[in-house]
A and B are shown apart, each in its own frame.
Chain A
Amino acid sequence: MGLLDKEFNDSNIVIAKMEDVMNWARLSSLWQLSFGLACCAIEMMAASASNYDFDRFGVMPRPTPRQADVIIISGTVTLKMATRIKRLYEQMPDPKYIISMGSCANTGGPYWEHGYHVLKGIDRIIPVDVYVPGCPPRPEALFEGLLKLQEKIRTETIRTKNKKTA
């Protein structure tokens, strides 16, 4: 980040833009809602485990939506589950982010035609920030998705959020 590089040596004062500090704090500790859906969830668990270690990006699972920043939709979203996911999403405090992981969450995946019980894409009910393709995506792909999300958060500003672009 370079945010804290030199300044600490001389005094304990850092001068930075509020936005930069907030974005830096947000993107460096994205706590994920601890929850998985189907085969993709296995890859997500592998990503959290010691070999890949999601924690080095500041991602760790929280078992309550009240303390989560990001929800990774990892797998097949059945219609029955979709209503629950919507509720979980609404229980998360702002700012909140969504990673759609795998073909199922993106578009319905293998169930796109005959899946009478499957929601064909999680973006039909909640807004998605990053789509990760694959069936299932490897942990590296999920990391790529997370880095993309961090990039997105880094460019957020307080000002333009609700401002009309001219």
Chain B
Amino acid sequence: MTAEEIFNLLKEKFGDSILEMVTDVPTEPIISVEPLKINLITQFLRDSDELQFNSLMNLSGVDDNNVQKVKNEDGSFSSTDGTLSVYYHLDSLELKHKITLKVSTNRNNPEVESVTDIWHSANWHEREAFDMFGIKFNNHPDLTRILMPYDWKGFPLRKDYENPEFYEGMKIPY
């Protein structure tokens, strides 16, 4: 199936939860969907006979780096919330077609449904996205840090991350 057909099929089935499709990218076209509907949508993508996306090739978090300073009427500045995104690269080994899904969520309270029960390979990928960006995956069986120490503060791959001076008495900066 082409990306166009997949997009229309999803639109028909899920309506407003499917936001848009971007095609002028060097990879597979990217379909944006609602973060809290991703579990339902991926279940359909995996189970429907025409799609059969049986492989989650990759799942990664991204800081969109879109926090903007806005000038208020009284001349003061405030900043917009900005977003964090999660990308899902799907592959159908049966039908040999691919697609990329994207969800964007508010940076201050990033919440996404987990897809661990759809593809088990998502488990550690989601933990990594949580570890690096602080994205919360609802209904994840064990959402703990996977790389950094459990007592680490902050999320290192966020654009506004500041490295601490010390960790357990060890100096971190060079």
Contact = CB atoms under 8 A, between A and B. Distances in A.
Interface residues of B, number: 13
A52 interface: no
A79 B167 contact: yes
A124 B168 contact: no
Contacts, number: 30
Interface string A111-142: 01100110110001100000000000000000
Given A116-B161, A116-B163, A117-B156, A80 B170 contact: no
Given A79-B149, A80-B148, A80-B149, A120 B168 contact: no
A108 interface: yes
Contacts of B172: 79, 116, 119-120
B149 A120 contact: no
Contacts of B168: 79, 83
A107 B170 CA distance: 14
Contact of B170 (A82, A112, A113, A116): A82
Chain A binding surface SS class: loop
User: Interface centre among A112, A117, A120, by most B CB within 10 Å?
Assistant: A117
A78 to B, nearest CB: 9
Interface in B134-174: 147-149, 156, 161, 163, 167-168, 170-174
Nearest to B173: A120
B171 to A, nearest CB: 6
Contacts of A82: 170
B174 A120 contact: yes
B151 to A, nearest CB: 10
Contacts of A112: 174
Interface string A144-162: 0000000000000000000
A124 B149 contact: no
A116 B154 CA distance: 11
A116 B174 contact: no
A113 B163 CA distance: 11
B144 to A, nearest CB: 13
Contacts of B163: 116
Contact of B174 (A79, A80, A83, A113): A113
B92 to A, nearest CB: 36
Contacts of B156: 116-117
B168 to A, nearest CB: 6
15 contacts: A79-B149, A79-B167, A79-B170, A79-B172, A80-B148, A107-B174, A116-B161, A116-B172, A117-B148, A117-B156, A119-B170, A119-B172, A120-B171, A120-B172, A120-B173
Given A119-B170, A119-B172, 6 more contacts: A79-B149, A79-B170, A80-B149, A113-B174, A120-B171, A120-B174
Interface of B: 147-149, 156, 161, 163, 167-168, 170-174
Interface of A: 79-80, 82-83, 107-108, 112-113, 116-117, 119-120, 124-125
Closest 3 CB pairs of A and B: A80-B149, A116-B163, A120-B174
